[in-house]
Amino acid sequence: MKTIKFLCTVTAVAIVAIATAVERPKMDVTPLNAEQARVSITNEKPALFEMSIETQNGDLVYYKQTTEASTEYQKIFDFTNLEKGKYVMNLKVNDTKVIREFEVNSKSILVGDSKMRFDPYFFFEDNMLKFSFLNFDQENYNVYFYKGDEQFYSSRVGKDFSIQKGFDLSKLEKGNYKIVLSSRDNEYVYSLVK
């Protein structure tokens, strides 16, 4: 029973640490008419950001990466030349991503709810690799270990909402390693030197 309480406490502390350590950007998309929308981005602290618009198939329609840190950004987009259909607007600020789906049709621009996602947190110390990840979409994830281009270990980590794993790397020889946490739709890469 003490072990269960301890694990629950560790999990809660990890989730709180992740939630307080990440950015909380906000992306508002306001349709102005059937062809234009205003996108307003705000963030608590000055930061660099990346913004993209993609089709439902993942084809890139627009991309912007800032060169100076800022707490806000605003732009009016003209979607006249876009084909009618559904699109995804992505905003990335450090390890935080905001996703908004929208649809362009002949009468209006329909904007979906905002979804926030966080990159996993990796930590390597004393030959232990630990990572935690909030799996909002509850996708099945696997972790892969590489030395150079050669994969030498893989493990299924599951589809739980909160994923925490630890790996003892004390028996690995010195060198450069790459750890890949991936699902069908997402991939996160962590590099370490042992």
Segments making up each domain of the chain, as ranges:
26-117, 121-193
- What fold, for 26-117? Immunoglobulin-like (2.60.40)
Question: Tokens in use for 44?
Answer: 């608590």
CB distance 25 to 91 below 8 Å:
yes
Whole-angstrom CA distances from 101 to 52, 54, 111, 112, 113 are 12, 10, 6, 5, 7
What is the pLDDT, as a whole number, of residue 144? 97
**Can you give the pTM of this predicted structure?**
0.72
Shared fold status for 26-117 and 121-193: yes
Q: 113-169 pLDDT, tens per residue? A: 999 999 999 999 999 999 999 999 999 999 999 999 999 999 999 999 999 999 999
CATH 1.10.4160.10 assigned to domain 121-193? The reply is: no
CB distance 39 to 77 below 8 Å:
yes
Task: Indicate the average pLDDT of the chain.
Answer: 88
Helices (H) and strands (E) in the chain, counts: 1, 15
